[in-house]
Amino acid sequence: MNPLRGANRITARSVAIGMIGLLTAGLAAVAGPTMASAHEGGASMGGMQMSGSPADVGTTQGWYRGHTVTFTYTKDFSCGQPPTSGADSGCELGAMYDRVPAGDFDPLYVIVPLGFTPNQDTLQCPTAGACIDHPSTIDLSRVFGSGTENNLLPPHSHLITTLADKKAEWWDVDVIGVSNQHTWDRIVAAKSYRFVNHLRRADNPNVTDNIPTNLFLYFSAS
């Protein structure tokens, strides 16, 4: 477990200065115009199954050290305030959490295609605003400015660095933008956060730094 990992985060200001051109080109666009409920009973979308049970139990896939694993969700998301969010969900991009839903948690890295549309089979949450126990909306205004306070959560995939003993727990979300199809394909093939850091050390311009959020998801990975 890895509580309060603030030392490894980057500030919203450094994101805006270093990544604003790259992100503006893609992230708002990939959110898409279509919104769907994050709790549609009995739906199935690109490897994501959602049940109609009151507990909102469902699964997505994720990547862990070169392998595809299954995330099983049994609770809704948490986006504690502050930071103050303009989204209906209370979730915020570019601002680290101030409140946590539990004392112990691990990182979840959400990778988002920027300015291109990858094969849907490589997106573990392929539909904007609709993924089991994820928020439908997120406030992007700390990075993009006024007018982006209530955007759909973009299509994305997941990376983790631990299985957390295959037990259900909270995971805090960092966003990683990928702006190039070739780079995206390499990450999909590697299925590894270590490989993402390899690309950064090689000064690959198509991968952003980790962008903090106040979003927590609850699932087990196996």
Confidence of residue 39 (pLDDT cuts 50, 70, 90): very low
Please name the amino acid found at residue 40: E
Q: Which of the two residues, 183 and 5, has the higher pLDDT score?
A: 183
Tell whether the model's pLDDT for residue 45 goes beyond 60.
Answer: no
* Residue 144: per-residue pLDDT: 81
Tell whether the model's pLDDT for residue 187 goes beyond 60.
Answer: yes
Q: Which of the two residues, 38 and 141, has the higher pLDDT score?
A: 141
CB 136 within 8 A of CB 130: yes
H-assigned helices in 10-108: 12-30
Tens of pLDDT, residue by residue over 114-135, are: 999 999 999 999 999 999 999 9
Total Cβ atoms within 10 A of residue 184: 23
Confidence of residue 56 (pLDDT cuts 50, 70, 90): confident
> How far apart are the C-alpha atoms of 151 and 100, rounded to whole Å?
23
* Residue 18: per-residue pLDDT: 39
Domain ranges of the chain: 20-31+41-221
Tens of pLDDT, residue by residue over 172-182, are: 999 999 999 99
Question: In a 3-state reduction of DSSP, which class is residue 29?
Answer: helix
Q: Which of the two residues, 212 and 8, has the higher pLDDT score?
A: 212
* Residue 112: per-residue pLDDT: 97
* Residue 16: per-residue pLDDT: 39
Longest dimension (CA), the chain: 46
Indicate the average pLDDT of the chain. 82
Total Cβ atoms within 10 A of residue 140: 24
Mean pLDDT (whole number) for 61-70:
98
Q: Which of the two residues, 188 and 42, has the higher pLDDT score?
A: 188
> How far apart are the C-alpha atoms of 53 and 76, rounded to whole Å?
13
Confidence of residue 27 (pLDDT cuts 50, 70, 90): low
Q: Is the peptide bond before 113 cis (omega within 30 degrees of 0)?
A: no
